Chains A and B, each alone.
Chain A
Amino acid sequence: MSRTGATASQAGFFSRLGMAMKLHRQNFSGSLRGLFGQPTSSLMTITVLAISLALPATFHVLLKNGKAVSQGWNQGVEIALFLRPEISDSRAEALTRTLQLRSEVAATRLVSKEDALQEFKSRSGFGDAMDFLDENPLPAMILVTPTRAHSSPDSARALIATLAKEREVDVAQLDLEWVRRFQALLQLGDKLALALGLILAGGVVLIIGNTIRLAILNRRPEIEIVKLVGATDAFIRRPFLYTGFWYGALAGLVCWLLVTLLVFWLGGPVSRLAGLYQSSFRLDGLAMVESLWLVGAAILLGLLGAWISVSRHLKAIQPQ
């Protein structure tokens, strides 16, 4: 014979759902209050995390700006064809028109000997000295702008090789070598930023993991008790995951602030420097999307670190 007086508590689905959401809200804000409960150590951790994130983020911003600068150079590709000194102006004009007909060429501009002299006088500062010369020593020059399709370093080089074969051309010049080197450098920077980002992301995961580990050990008696009264692992895990979330989110925000301040601080000098090169280039900070990515990635890293730590250490805590 058995009496059936008592059964364990059961709750309906909707009241469970409502309660589960309430628990989430409590954990969400409770874990944040937990961080503010120990402001010094939390602040230190968040700062360390933010600096770890700020390094690759700053690298990214610098690379982005470097690319923006070199993009401008690439679009302004001009091939300079210096003509032989004995070529007459009329022949130079004829060649200019012929070149204009080529499919690779977007525009041509003839700089005659006379134009070149005028330009040299006005620009070089040696203008007066030129007056003492009997003859204009400067050659005529044709500036060839390739079409957009032929502006890449490789096809521009192919074009220059063809143009150099024209009989009238003495020297063909394309000042692209250093652009290519700069771009190779940027590509290297890309790889470096990626490697740096991965290493420091690993660091962030480890730092958060260790912080959560300490939090777990601190609350060991509490964890044992809630396990005894029937808490599932998910229930115990949740507040720690939220702690990881907050560490990530706050570190992401502080990192964003650091990078933005840095860009602001460097912005003035960079504009001045660009001004000296007749450029209106301005240092670009983190765009909205990039900022969201930054904070989002930081949150994911926080959750990941917390998850790894919780799944490793929670099993070890069993009630005695």
Chain B
Amino acid sequence: MIEFHNVFKRYETGHEALKGVNLALDSGEMAFLTGHSGAGKSTLLKLIAVMERPTRGQVIIDGANVGRAKNRQIPHIRRKIGMIFQDHRLLADRTVFDNVALPLVIGGLSQRDINSRVRAALDKVGLLNKEKMMPITLSGGEQQRVGIARAVVNKPPLLLADEPTGNLDPELSAEILKLFEQFSQVGVSVLVATHDLALIARMHYRTMTLRDGRMINTGLEE
């Protein structure tokens, strides 16, 4: 699902965020990406979502070299990727329902399809009774789950999560990772960037480690 071939990323400031990274993530595989802050986790995720372009090397998503994608193709690449952020990135002036419906509205689905899919996604994250509320009135954990519902509502083959448990207590964090597990079990590839090592230790999933822009551990058996 994701392949990195000898990927370098140098920012205009001269900072080299990634230095020759290789990685591969299968469909339906779930993996963690760890490393200190500044190790290149965010850059790696941005390259996948085409928020940045690699300076060298190839980033291949679902068989397509997205590093070379034309600008007008970017939206269509992003529709295959559900993204979850530490700061949730919800629209403050829309209800929970409308926030979750956003990818479907953009995709041009009919209202009936939108209704049933949004309710299914909200049901999945346990927020079906809150669809008419505004995000601001929800707790941090609930907002994060709204973000997850939005990420999975159009059934993308790939989920990216950037510090999804950053502000949550261990119990809520575990709940959210349970959700990711369930998605991976139905064939969704899940890549979770985090520096919460305690959390990773409790889960038995492949763990990739970045240090100073190099992949020092791909999490695969030698």
Give the interface of A toward B (CB within 8 A).
1-9, 11, 15-16, 18-20, 22-23, 222, 224-233, 235, 318-320
- Name the contact of B110 in the complex, choosing from A11, A229, A233 (C-beta under 8 A): A11
Given contacts A228-B89, A230-B75, A230-B79, contact A5 B106 (CB under 8 A): no
Per-residue CB contact flags for chain B residues 78-95 toward chain A (1 = under 8 Å, else 0) read: 111001000001110000
Given contacts A15-B113, A19-B109, contact A4 B76 (CB under 8 A): no
- The answer to whether A6 touches B188 (Cβ under 8 A) is yes
- The answer to whether A228 touches B83 (Cβ under 8 A) is yes
Given contacts A11-B110, A16-B108, contact A5 B188 (CB under 8 A): yes
Residue of chain B at shortest CB distance from A16: B108
Query: Within the complex, what minimum Cβ distance (angstroms) separates A10 from chain B?
Result: 8
- Residues of A contacting B117 in the complex (Cβ-Cβ under 8 angstroms): 9
- The answer to whether B108 touches A20 (Cβ under 8 A) is yes
Given contacts A19-B110, A231-B106, contact A9 B78 (CB under 8 A): no
Given contacts A4-B187, A5-B186, 13 further A-B contacts (CB under 8 A): A2-B26, A7-B155, A9-B79, A9-B103, A11-B109, A18-B110, A19-B109, A229-B78, A229-B79, A231-B106, A232-B75, A233-B75, A235-B75
- The answer to whether A226 touches B78 (Cβ under 8 A) is no
Given contacts A5-B28, A5-B187, A6-B155, contact A15 B102 (CB under 8 A): no
Residue of chain B at shortest CB distance from A1: B26
- Residues of A contacting B188 in the complex (Cβ-Cβ under 8 angstroms): 5-6
Residue of chain A at shortest CB distance from B94: A222
Interface of chain B residues 107 through 156 with chain A (CB within 8 A): 107-111, 113, 117, 150, 154-156
- Residues of B contacting A4 in the complex (Cβ-Cβ under 8 angstroms): 27, 187
- Residues of B contacting A6 in the complex (Cβ-Cβ under 8 angstroms): 155-157, 186-188
Given contacts A8-B155, A9-B154, contact A229 B106 (CB under 8 A): yes
Query: Within the complex, what minimum Cβ distance (angstroms) separates B110 from chain A?
Result: 4
Query: Within the complex, what minimum Cβ distance (angstroms) separates B140 from chain A?
Result: 18
Give the interface of B toward A (CB within 8 A).
1, 26-28, 49, 51, 72, 75-80, 83, 89-91, 102-111, 113, 117, 150, 154-157, 186-188
CA distance A64 to B113 in the complex (A): 57
A-B contact pairs, 19 of them (CB 8 A): A2-B1, A3-B28, A4-B187, A5-B27, A5-B187, A6-B186, A8-B157, A9-B107, A11-B113, A16-B108, A19-B105, A19-B109, A227-B75, A228-B49, A228-B89, A230-B76, A230-B79, A230-B106, A233-B72
Query: Within the complex, what minimum Cβ distance (angstroms) separates A274 from chain B?
Result: 58
- The answer to whether B91 touches A225 (Cβ under 8 A) is yes
- The answer to whether B51 touches A7 (Cβ under 8 A) is no
Query: Within the complex, what minimum Cβ distance (angstroms) separates B133 from chain A?
Result: 18
Which 3 A-B pairs have CB atoms at the shortest separation, nearest pair first? A5-B187, A230-B79, A230-B78
- Residues of B contacting A16 in the complex (Cβ-Cβ under 8 angstroms): 108
CA distance A63 to B80 in the complex (A): 61
- The answer to whether B28 touches A318 (Cβ under 8 A) is no
Residue of chain A at shortest CB distance from B106: A231
CA distance A225 to B104 in the complex (A): 14
CA distance A19 to B115 in the complex (A): 13
- The answer to whether B150 touches A229 (Cβ under 8 A) is yes
- The answer to whether B157 touches A7 (Cβ under 8 A) is yes
- Name the contact of B155 in the complex, choosing from A9, A23, A222, A226 (C-beta under 8 A): A9
Name the residue among A4, A19, A222 with the largest chain B CB count within 10 angstroms: A19
